[in-house]
Amino acid sequence: MKFTPRWLLLFDVLVVITAFLLSFAVRVPLRDLGEVLPRYTDYLPALLAIRLLVFVMYGLYRSIWARAAIREFVAVVSAVTTGSIIGTLLLVFVTLNESIPEFPRIVLLYEWALTLAMAAGARFSLRVLDMRQLEANLEDDDEHHRRVLQERIAEWLYAAPPDVRRMWRDSQQLSSRRFFKRAFDILASLFVLALIFPIFVLICLLIKLETPGPILADTPRRAGRGGTEFRMYKFRGMVKNAHLMLVNDPVLWEEYKKHNFKLPDDPRITRVGKFIRQHSIDELPNFINVLHGEMSMVGPRPRYPFEVVAQAERFPHTQADILRILSIKPGVTGPWQISGRSNLGYEERNHLEARYAETQSLWRDIVIILKTIKVVLQKEGAH
C-alpha cells in the first residue's frame, strides 16, 4: 500500500491531536489530568487549523520530496516551528482577556517537540518502508533546464570580465554582509508571516471555493543563487495545470516569450487570481522561501532557468549582468518592483538588478521595502 498526500494529511491530524494531549500528560499529574485538560480543549481546533495550514504552505503534502529527504526534514522543522510561533502569538493575544485561562507555557514547548518528533518520524518511517507515494506531479523537463543552465553559466564565467568572476567567487563564501542580510531575512519573514496569517486563511478558502486544484501554484522551479533551483511558493491564481496549458499551446507560448515571459491578458487567470495578482497577494507565500533561505526579502526577480538561458541567447551582451544577478538570492521585492515592474523591458530590468547585486546593503534593502509598500498599494505595473 502507498500512502498518498491525502492519507498523510489525515495522519498529521492525528499527530497534532496526540501531541496536544500528550503535552498535558507530560506536564500534569495523571490524577489531575481529567480536571485540567478540559479547560484548554477549546484551543485544539485553532491549533489544528494553524498546524495543517502551515504544513500546506510549506509544501509538506506536495510530491516533490522523492530525492530530498534532508530538505523534507528541514521543511518539517520549519513548518512546526513557524506554527508554534504563530500559535504562541495568537495565544498571547487571546489570553489578554482575563476571563480566558492562560495557556501553560511549558506545554507549548512539549507540544512543539512532540509534533516535530511524530511528524518527522512518520515521514522518515514511511520513506524507509517504501510505503509513500513520491512521484513528481509536474511533468516538465526541470532537470534538463537545470543542466543546460549550469552549462551556460560555466561558459559565461569563462568569458566574463575579471570583476564578474571575482564577484561570483566571493558570493560562494560566507561574509559579514551575507550574515546580517540572512539574519534580517529570518526576523522579517517571521514577523510578516505572523502578521498576514489571517490573510493566508482567507485566500486559501477563496482559491478552493472558486476552482478545483491545489492552493499553491504548481510551477517549474526557479533559478536561485549560483543557478541552483528551488520551488517557489506562490498562491495559485490560475486554472489547474496552467503551465502545461501554456507550453502545449504554440500561439500562447510565442506570445509569452514575446512579452518578456509575461502574458498581459492571460486567459488562464481566475477571478480570485486577477485580484490577488493585482495586489501582489499571490506572492505572500514567498516569505516561506525567505525563511527557508532560498530567497531574500530584497533581491532580483526569481526567473525560470529556461527564461535565463533564452534571454541570454537573445541578448548576448547581457550575460555578464546575468552572472551578477545569479550571484545573489532572488527576492520577494527588489529594484524591478519599484521601478515599473512589467512596464520595464528585459535589458532595462537586467541592468537595474545587476547594479543592485553590485551595491546591495541592508539600508538600501529597507528603503526598497518601504517603496514596495507604496507601489503595491498603488498597483503600479502589476499584471
pLDDT digit string, tens, across residues 326-373: 999 999 999 888 876 666 777 888 889 999 998 888 999 999 999 888
Specify whether the CB–CB gap between 104 and 25 falls below 8 A.
Answer: no
Is there a domain that residue 274 lies in? yes
Among the candidates 106, 128, 150, a domain finishes at: 128
Q: Which residue has the higher pLDDT, 297 or 140?
A: 297
229 forms bridges with which residues in the sheet?
Answer: 223
Q: Give the domain range for residue 335.
A: 142-378
Same domain as 161, residue 50: no
Same domain as 362, residue 231: yes
Same domain as 185, residue 300: yes
Given a cut of 60, is residue 132 above it in pLDDT?
no
Same domain as 81, residue 147: no
Residue-wise pLDDT tens digits, 281-338 = 888 889 989 988 899 999 999 988 888 888 888 888 888 999 999 999 999 999 888 8
Given a cut of 50, is residue 140 above it in pLDDT?
no
Among the candidates 128, 163, 182, a domain finishes at: 128
Q: What is the pLDDT of residue 135?
A: 44
Same domain as 147, residue 112: no
Same domain as 281, residue 157: yes
> How many domains does one find in the chain?
2
Same domain as 173, residue 245: yes
Is there a domain that residue 72 lies in? yes
Is there a domain that residue 231 lies in? yes
Same domain as 146, residue 105: no
Is there a domain that residue 272 lies in? yes
Is there a domain that residue 28 lies in? yes
Same domain as 147, residue 120: no
Same domain as 121, residue 153: no
Is there a domain that residue 137 lies in? no
Same domain as 192, residue 100: no
Q: What is the pLDDT of residue 139?
A: 43
Is there a domain that residue 184 lies in? yes
What percent of the chain has a predicted confidence (pLDDT) above 70?
A: 83
Same domain as 173, residue 215: yes
Model pTM score: 0.64
Is there a domain that residue 373 lies in? yes
What percent of the chain has a predicted confidence (pLDDT) above 90?
A: 12
